[in-house]
């Protein structure tokens, strides 16, 4: 279909189909071979090594910095498929944020496992995912009027271990302020972009979880029989499933749109704040429907530790609240909409900017 | 992975943006000149044949009709952006709506050469206004229950029966009628239906208003009492009516009229919040986000339709989500207003119309209950 598109009218936003096929196979195999779900999620070093071999751990980082130089279309596909398999690896933290920050700061990257965080003025960062597993933590620090990036090795910070809602490693990290102040300065835009990149990458992951949830739910309601027929034959159940699948589709459309705007402009499009906000809002509110309806359709078995469903629903809920709550993003969108006002709202909806492009 | 319900999003190219801004500038001038007053749900409720003709003169009607039939040979994507701009500004587009959206494409697909030459140029110029006659008192969602019958006579057919909810029949020139031309076959309920092109001024046609709950006249009951339709006004094949009417549903269900009917109210609410006429509330951002995502999803479906891809399920997804959202906007703004406390005529004019129109959003063009079934079928559940 995309081959017939006239680029003056519309442009495709799809990831490389060969890459998607390879990733689908890889994560299907991973899902089939892994052991039963547990209440906690620990870093999978073996999977990480395999992903590293394939050049996937820093897929979107530039080739000069040791990355694979792929587009965010490809990157979003990787995040989604990995999340759909509940893969316990910090792809986003290491490959999409830490690698990018180091590059923006002109700092070297030896490729060892990194996670990322934004410490407060006292040097404390909360909910640092996979902090215990990282060789080094990349901190983005607002130092007075300046933004700094510091690559702080494992032995130079204090970690209090924790777990997030999904059961992933999620730590409190206390930095030595001197280490943060010694970081390389970066442009102010890096600080703003960090938030956008993180939020959008989380959206891609949640979309991936949604898509696997749709598969699980459809398979279950076609198979599970009550009253002498598959429960998917009941209209009430069909409605549950149709609604969750429709919400997942809307979340996907919003996320892909923001990814396209980011990719096409190399993150410089002034309409990105709106686009990422739309993705965050649609994904976040969709999660309410998808998680609720999926658990309802799956019945009691879906609430058990042994079932795959929670490996998707828990991370979906944990991740929708990262890089800004749904409420904060709805506030941002409200602010953009009210300042656009009656006459410019449609321009905002279509381009992310209140004034039409010239 | 199961196949995605909706095709992947595409981004708008420069030629479409240029066209969009051209249409927008024209419409801004029309509003500034007082040529029309922006409103909600204008594709059903606002008729203005002169405005429709002006769009025809500008080449914004019958855009996808080939030039040899008086159209403009443009793509569905170009039509899509023009349609969006007309809807968001709340322009009076009801007179052209059915002809531009459904009748033109149906004639192109099923019509004879003579029919195309007789109707398409006047659709593209905005001179010919069409309605559509499908629903009946006993055939709503279940169209196979159509009872209007066509009886074979010399050189044509005689139609007898009653059509309901025919939007604008009292203003239109002609309408498409779905009628039974063979006895019902219990083994194939959809067999034996045929489509006819019926002159609404023909002898035997009687049009009675069905007033909506706000007192407005948009819908009609159309009685056909042995109305003669010549053979050359049968559309497509006798007995193929069901296949013909369902083949165009993707266009009817996925378009921007399925999520933009209340956009004027949303826009007015944004200003009202900015100016303190409504309280600041994050629900505004949430609704704006959904409209933005639906805009992208609807455009993606239009791209698939342009490429002749199957899109019935995707269209159902757009329609279920979009019509629910556009109705929710009306209810949302209503929950923010305090009648008797704030004097705000413009907001209330739009809000009250939106509240009264809302029940129809999720009924017309296939109820959301039927469409959820279409989605469920797309997922393999039935």
Mean pLDDT of chain A: 95
Per-residue pLDDT, A156: 80
Instruction: Nearest chain B residue to A355 by CA: give it.
Output: B21
pLDDT grade, residue B296 (50/70/90)? very high
Looking at the fold, whether A182 and A285 belong to one and the same domain comes out as: no
Q: Could you tell me the pLDDT band of residue A355, with boundaries at 50, 70 and 90?
A: confident
Note the pLDDT tens digit of each residue in B134-176.
999 999 999 989 999 999 999 999 999 999 999 999 999 999 9
Q: Is residue B2 part of a domain?
A: no
Give the span between the Cα atoms of B132 and A153, in whole angstroms.
Answer: 71
Q: Are residues B178 and B193 in the same domain?
A: yes
Same domain as A168, residue A198: no
Query: Is the residue at B268 inside a domain?
Result: yes
Residue B130 corresponds to which tokens in the numbers above?
């069409």
**pTM of this prediction?**
0.97
Q: What is the mean pLDDT of residues B113-123?
A: 98
- For residue B343, pLDDT over 90 is answered with no
Identify the domain containing residue B118 by its residue range. Answer: 14-129
Which of B270, B308, B322, B344 to substitute to test the interface with A, most A CBs within 10 Å? B270
What is the Cα–Cα distance from B257 to A89, expressed in whole angstroms? 43
Tell me how many domains chain B contains. 3
The beta-carbon neighbor of A5 closest among B1, B266, B303 is B303
pLDDT for res A2: 43
pLDDT of residue A1: 42
Identify the DSSP state of A150.
E
**A3 confidence band (pLDDT: 50, 70, 90):** very low
pLDDT in tens, A185-205: 999 999 999 999 999 999 999
Name the A residues in 297-356 with CB < 8 Å from any B CB: 327, 329-343, 345-346, 348-350, 356
Q: What angle do CA A118, A119, A124 make, to 5 degrees?
A: 145
Q: What is the mean pLDDT of chain B?
A: 95
| A4 shares contact with chain B (CB less than 8 Å) | yes
With cut-offs at 50, 70 and 90, classify the pLDDT of residue A13: confident
Is the pLDDT score of B252 beyond 90?
no
Of A172, A117, A114, which is closest to residue A140 (Cα–Cα)? A117
Residues in CB range of B300: below 8 A, 6 or more apart: A253, B6, B7, B8, B9, B10, B314
Query: Is residue A216 located within the same domain as residue A248?
Result: yes
| Residue at a domain's end among B219, B240, B261 | B240
Question: Residue A327: which domain range?
Answer: 188-351
Lowest mean pLDDT across B176-185, B208-217, B333-342:
B333-342
| Domain assignment present for A358 | no
Q: Which of B129, B153, B176 is the last residue of a domain?
A: B129
Q: State residue A4 phi and psi, 5-degree precision.
A: -90, 0
Residues A288 and A323 in one domain: yes
Q: Are residues B235 and B250 in the same domain?
A: no
Which of B211, B207, B210, B218 is CA-nearest to residue B92? B218
| Residue of chain A minimizing CA distance to B270 | A338
Determine the Cα–Cα distance for residues B285 and B265; give it in Å rounded to an integer.
14
Based on the fold, state whether residues A32 and A80 are members of the same structural domain. Answer: yes
Q: Which of A138, A164, A186 is the last residue of a domain?
A: A186
Q: What is the mean pLDDT of residues B334-344?
A: 79
Does residue B362 sit within a domain? yes
CATH number at residue B259: 1.20.140.10
Q: Cβ distance B311 to B254 under 8 Å?
A: yes
pLDDT greater than 70 at residue B271 = yes
Residue A148 sits in the same domain as residue A245: no
User: Of A141, A162, A186, which residue sits at a domain end?
Assistant: A186
B267 touches chain A (CB under 8 A): yes
Residues A61 and A194 in one domain: no
Is B9 part of any domain?
Answer: no
In-domain check, residue B6: no
What confidence score (pLDDT) does residue A356 get?
59
pLDDT over threshold 60, residue A358: no
Mean pLDDT across the stretch B326-349? 88
pLDDT attached to residue A14 = 87
CATH number of the domain at B150, please.
Answer: 2.40.110.10
Same domain, A19 and A114: yes
Kindly report, residue by residue over A130-174, the tens digit of the pLDDT: 999 999 999 999 998 999 999 999 888 899 999 999 999 999 999
Task: Count the helices and strands in chain A (H runs, E runs).
Answer: 10, 10
Both B262 and B367 in one domain: the answer is yes
Hey, how many other C-beta atoms are within 10 angstroms of the C-beta on A334? Answer: 24
| Domain co-membership, A224 together with A172 | no
User: Any CB–CB contact under 8 A between A76 and chain B?
Assistant: no
B1 pLDDT higher than 60: no
Residues A299 and A232 in one domain: yes
Shared domain for B275 and B337, answered yes or no, is yes
**Residue A337 covered by a domain:** yes
Which of A160, A186, A212 is where one domain is finished? Answer: A186
ipTM of the complex, rounded to two decimals: 0.96
Separation of alpha carbons B268 and B346, rounded Å: 8
Total structural domains in chain A? 2
Give the C-alpha separation, A26 to A10, whole Å: 32
Backbone angles phi, psi at B196, to 5 degrees: -130, 150
Q: Which residues of A240-262 are buried (b: 16+ CB within 10 A; e: fewer)?
A: bbbbbbbbbbbbbbbbbbbbbbb
Domain assignment present for A276: yes
Please indicate whether, in this complex, the C-beta atoms of A252 and B282 are within 8 angstroms of each other. no
- Pair B260, B371 in one domain: yes
Asked if residue A172 belongs to a domain, the reply is yes
| CATH code, domain with A239 | 1.20.140.10
Return the number of CB contacts < 8 Å for A and B: 217
Nearest alpha carbon to residue A323 among A336, A314, A310, A332: A332
Per the CB < 8 Å rule, is B268 touching A214?
A: no
- Write out the two tokens for B48: 């203005």
What CATH number is given to the structural domain containing A85? 1.10.540.10
Residue A282 reports pLDDT greater than 70: yes
Report, as an integer, the average pLDDT of B203-218. 97
Tokens of A103: 């590059």
Tell me whether residues A341 and B376 touch, CB distance under 8 A. no
Mean pLDDT score, B226-232: 98
User: What is the bridge-based pairing of β-strands A10-12 and A146-153?
Assistant: unpaired
Q: Domain for residue A138, yes or no?
A: yes
- Dihedrals φ, ψ of B3, to 5°? -65, 135
Looking up tokens 């969709």 gives A286
A249's tokens: 């589709």
Q: What is the pLDDT of residue B3?
A: 66
Q: Which residues pair with A159 in a beta bridge?
A: A173
| B376 to A330: CB separation less than 8 angstroms, yes or no | no
List B residues 268-287 in contact with A (Cβ-Cβ < 8 A): 268, 270-271, 273-274, 280-286
Are residues A32 and A176 located together in one domain of the fold? yes
Q: Write the pLDDT tens digit of every residue in B8-62.
A: 999 999 999 999 999 999 999 999 999 999 999 999 999 999 999 999 999 999 9
Q: What is the pLDDT of residue B382?
A: 87
C-beta of residue A150 within 8 angstroms of C-beta of residue A183: yes
Average of pLDDT values for B268-283? 96
Domain membership of residue B333 (yes or no) is yes
Residue at which a domain ends, from B222, B240, B258:
B240
Q: What is the pLDDT, as a whole number, of residue B350? A: 96
Q: Is residue A24 part of a domain?
A: yes
Question: Is B279's pLDDT higher than 90?
Answer: yes
| Closest listed residue to residue B357, CA positions, set B36, B43, B31 | B43
pLDDT of residue A4: 66
Residue B4 lies in a domain: no
**Separation between Cα atoms, residue B145 and residue B137, nearest integer Å:** 10
Is A356 within a domain? no
Q: With a CB-CB cutoff of 8 Å, which residues 255-274 of chain A face chain B?
A: 256-257, 260-261, 264, 274
Region B338-356: what's the mean pLDDT?
A: 85
Structure confidence at residue B338 (pLDDT) = 82
Whether residues A70 and A134 fall in one domain:
yes
The predicted-structure confidence for A53-105, as pLDDT tens digits, reads as follows: 999 999 999 999 999 999 999 999 999 999 999 999 999 999 999 999 999 99
Name which of B215, B196, B213 is nearest B204 in CA terms.
B196
pLDDT score, position B258? 97
Residues B258 and B367 in one domain: yes
Residue B143 within a domain: yes
Q: What percent of chain A has pLDDT over 90?
A: 93
Contact B372/A356, CB-based, under 8 Å? no
């Amino acid at each position: 279909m995309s081959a017939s598109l006239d680029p003056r009218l519309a442009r495709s936003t799809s990831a490389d189909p060969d890459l998607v096929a390879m990733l689908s196979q890889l994560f299907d195999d991973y899902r089939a071979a892994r052991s039963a779900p547990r209440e906690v999620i620990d870093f999978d070093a073996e999977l990480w090594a395999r992903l590293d071999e394939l050049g996937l751990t820093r897929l979107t980082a530039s080739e000069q910095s040791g990355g694979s130089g792929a587009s965010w279309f490809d990157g979003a596909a990787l995040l989604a498929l990995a999340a759909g398999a509940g893969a316990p690896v910090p792809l986003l933290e290491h490959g999409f944020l830490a690698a990018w920050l180091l590059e923006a700061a002109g700092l070297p990257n030896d490729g060892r496992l990194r996670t990322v965080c934004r410490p407060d003025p006292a040097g404390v960062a909360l909910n640092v995912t996979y902090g215990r597993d990282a060789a080094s933590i990349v901190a983005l620090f607002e130092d007075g009027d300046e933004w700094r990036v510091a690559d702080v090795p494992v032995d130079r910070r204090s970690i209090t271990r924790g777990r997030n809602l999904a059961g992933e490693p999620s730590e409190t990290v206390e930095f030595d302020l001197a280490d943060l102040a010694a970081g390389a300065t970066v442009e102010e835009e890096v600080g703003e972009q960090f938030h956008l990149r993180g939020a959008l990458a989380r959206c891609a992951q949640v979309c991936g979880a949604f898509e696997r949830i749709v598969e699980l739910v459809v398979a279950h309601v076609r198979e599970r029989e009550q009253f002498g027929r598959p429960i998917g034959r009941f209209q009430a159940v069909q409605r549950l499933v149709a609604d969750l699948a429709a919400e997942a589709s809307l979340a996907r459309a919003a996320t892909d749109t923001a990814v396209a705007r980011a990719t096409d402009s190399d993150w410089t499009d002034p309409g990105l704040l709106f686009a990422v906000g739309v993705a965050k809002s649609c994904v976040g509110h969709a999660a309410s429907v998808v998680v609720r309806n999926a658990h309802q359709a799956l019945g009691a078995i879906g609430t058990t530790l042994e079932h795959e469903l929670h490996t998707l629903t828990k991370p979906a809920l944990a991740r929708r609240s990262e890089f800004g709550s749904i409420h904060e993003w709805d506030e941002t969108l409200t602010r953009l909409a009210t300042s656009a006002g009656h006459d410019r709202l449609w321009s905002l909806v279509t381009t992310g900017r209140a004034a039409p492009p010239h | 992975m199961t196949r995605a319900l909706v095709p992947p999003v595409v981004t708008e190219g420069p030629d479409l943006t240029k066209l969009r801004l051209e249409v927008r500038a024209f419409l801004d001038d029309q509003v500034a000149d007082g040529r029309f007053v922006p409103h909600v749900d204008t594709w059903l409720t606002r008729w203005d044949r002169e405005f429709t003709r002006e769009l025809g003169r500008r080449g914004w009607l019958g855009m996808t009709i080939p030039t040899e039939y008086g159209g403009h040979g443009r793509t569905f994507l170009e039509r899509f952006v023009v349609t969006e701009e007309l809807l968001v500004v709340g322009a009076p587009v009801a007179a052209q709506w059915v002809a531009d959206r459904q009748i033109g494409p149906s004639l192109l697909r099923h019509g004879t050469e003579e029919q195309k030459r007789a109707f398409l140029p006047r659709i593209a110029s905005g001179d010919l206004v069409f309605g559509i006659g499908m629903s009946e008192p006993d055939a709503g969602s279940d169209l196979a229950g159509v009872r209007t019958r066509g009886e074979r006579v010399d050189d044509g057919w005689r139609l007898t029966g009653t059509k309901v909810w025919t939007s604008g029949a009292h203003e239109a020139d002609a309408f498409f009628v779905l009628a039974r031309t063979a006895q019902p076959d219990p083994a194939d309920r959809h067999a034996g239906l045929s489509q006819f092109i019926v002159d609404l001024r023909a002898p035997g046609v009687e049009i009675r208003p069905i007033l909506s709950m706000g007192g407005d006249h948009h819908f009609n009951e159309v009685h056909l009492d042995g109305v003669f339709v010549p053979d050359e006004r049968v559309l497509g094949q006798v007995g193929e009516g069901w296949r013909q009417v369902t083949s165009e549903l993707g266009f009817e269900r996925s378009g921007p009229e399925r999520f933009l009917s209340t956009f004027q109210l949303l826009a007015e609410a944004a200003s009202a919040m900015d100016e303190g006429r409504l309280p600041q509330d994050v629900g505004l951002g949430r609704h704006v986000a959904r409209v933005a995502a639906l805009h992208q999803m609807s455009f993606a479906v239009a791209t698939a339709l342009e490429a002749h891809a199957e899109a019935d399920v995707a269209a159902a997804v757009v329609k279920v989500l979009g019509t629910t959202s556009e109705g929710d906007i009306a209810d949302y703004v209503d929950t923010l207003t305090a009648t008797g406390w704030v004097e705000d005529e413009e907001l209330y004019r739009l809000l009250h119309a939106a509240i009264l129109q809302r029940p129809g959003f999720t009924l017309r063009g296939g109820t959301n209950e039927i469409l959820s079934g279409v989605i469920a079928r797309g997922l393999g559940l039935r």
